[in-house]
Structure 1
Amino acid sequence: MMRLVSLTTMLTAPIVRIASLRKWSLQEIEMDTCKSSYKIILGSSSMARRQILSEMGYEFSIMTADIDEKCIRKEKPEELVMALAHAKADAIVTRLQTMGQLEENAHATLLITADTVVLYKGMIREKPTTKEEARNFIKGWVFWWSCSCCGIVLVTNLTTGTRKGAWERAEVYFHEIPDEVIDSLVGSTDTVMGLSKALTEKLIAEAL
């Protein structure tokens, strides 16, 4: 059983199987540039993404975008996550410019932004705003047995301005979940999806 998402990330539940619609192999990706030759800024407040990037062996600083995500609307989930990731990157670059730190940070520095949404019965679901909404989300997914998660990773080279981004989509299948387990999931801090390791490695290589 996996303990997943919080009110600040994306909520899911115990998983039977995650069927990825797009797969990347770390063995197929050759990194010619040593990780120590560049810096990384993670443009996210997600604890899960911080943990994932740390597990990948990267050292990084953190800067959050602090944008109003509800103001950005797209009909398709892949278009929405792409727009949100670009908006986060734009906001952080603007802040660096305002603070006069862009030139300093631009020396071999990559900015990573990301976003994830859930597609349930053809409807896009983002971060729940209340515990009750989070609880209803989980119960609905269990009743329907599955949901689709769409996530993007966007890497911006602050030196060249190059941006490389790609999205992945996965089907998540659920067992029946007792109410007491749902109650324990609501407000927890773990997430099933935050940052695709293989995709992140690939985009870092392309952005350099």
Structure 2
Amino acid sequence: MTSAGRPKIILGSKSATRKLIIEEMGWEAIIRTADIDEKAIGDRASDPAQLVLEIGTAKADALLPSLADAAARHGARLLLTGDQVVVHDGRVLEKPHDYAEVRRNIAAYALSPCRTVGSAVITELGAGGRRVSGVDTACIYFRPIPDSVVDELCKEEEILWCAGGLMIEHPLVEPYIERIEGTIDSVMGLSKPLVQRLLDELEGGKQ
């Protein structure tokens, strides 16, 4: 199907992997990003599922006032936002501050599994638009990753944009993944089954 024939959705994220995932589901993604201070939202010492829901909802609320023209121009009727954190040994890990943090995280992942916690928030555009949301998790077990591989990963700026410095889709990382409990798309930032369930929930609410 060409992009001209695909239904359109406004994706409130600049993540290339989320864009790829939603396009794999048959949508054309119209990218918009929210200007919010994520660090000021939620409680990092509490439930990570609640945290990512709060951030995903805040992104939607920040974007909605500016979307009327974009929705009309592109024919989109839905806004998809979300957030993801990595949880390891009870700590919530977000985007790394620097490559030193990336190195610490990767070394720690070989000692015990980490878990991704990701939200999806879908909002209908227009007056009285409904909103549905949910959270999906996945658990990743790593083998030790050699320093030489970590050195190569730290040459890529993109790793600083990944929660916990986690890039399971990277060819250098794949050989060191022992197993994943959950879906790869969930680890990459957007669970396809979760998004589909939320879309079905919206559609079912119209009946």
TM-score (norm. length: structure 2): 0.74
Q: Specify the alignment match of 2:104 in structure 1.
A: 136
1:79 to 2:50 alignment:
yes
The 1:70–1:146 alpha-carbon spacing in structure 2 relative to 1, beyond 3 Å, is: same
Aligned-partner SS, 1:133: helix
Matches within 5 A, 1:1-208: 39-74=8-43, 75-96=46-67, 101=69, 104=72, 109-142=77-110, 144-159=111-126, 160-186=128-154, 187=156, 189=158, 190=167, 192-208=187-203
Cα distance in 2 for partners of 1:182, 1:37 equals 39
The answer (yes or no) to whether the contact 1:107–1:158 under 8 Å persists in 2 is: no
- Counterpart Cα distance in 1 of 2:115 and 2:49: 11
In 1: Cα distance, 2:19 partner to 2:112 partner: 29
User: Structure 2 counterpart of 1:78, which letter?
Assistant: A
User: Aligned-pair distance for 1:113?
Assistant: 0.5
Deviation readout 1:45-104 (Å, 9 max, x if unpaired): 1011011111122112110112111111222100100000000001110233xxx52773
- Larger relative contact order (C-alpha < 8 A, sep ≥ 6)? 1
Sequence identity (%):
41
Alignment check: 8 A CA contact 1:37 1:108 kept: no
Unaligned runs of 5+ in 2: 159-166, 169-186
* Count of residues in correspondence between the two structures: 170
User: What residue identity is the alignment partner of 2:121?
Assistant: L
Q: 1:107 to 1:44 in 2, by over 3 A?
A: same
Q: Classify 1:172/1:188 alpha carbon distance in 2 versus 1 (closer, same or farther; 3 Å).
A: farther
Q: How many angstroms apart in 2 are the aligned matches of 1:54 and 1:102? A: 19
User: Residue 41 of structure 1 contacts residue 112 of structure 1 at CA under 8 Å; is this kept in 2?
Assistant: yes
Match of residue 179 from structure 2: none
By how many angstroms is 1:169 displaced?
A: 1.4
Q: Secondary structure in 2 aligned to 1:169?
A: strand
Give the TM-score normalised by the residue count of structure 1.
Answer: 0.73
Cα distance in 1 between the residues matched to 2:39 and 2:96: 12
**Aligned counterparts of 1:107 and 1:62: Cα–Cα separation in 2:** 14
Amino acid aligned to 1:183: D
Residue 117 of structure 2 contacts residue 135 of structure 2 at CA under 8 Å; is this kept in 1? yes
| 1:156–1:207 Cα contact (<8 Å) kept | no
| Distance apart, 1:37 and its partner CA | 8.6
Between structures 1 and 2, the one with greater helix share: 2
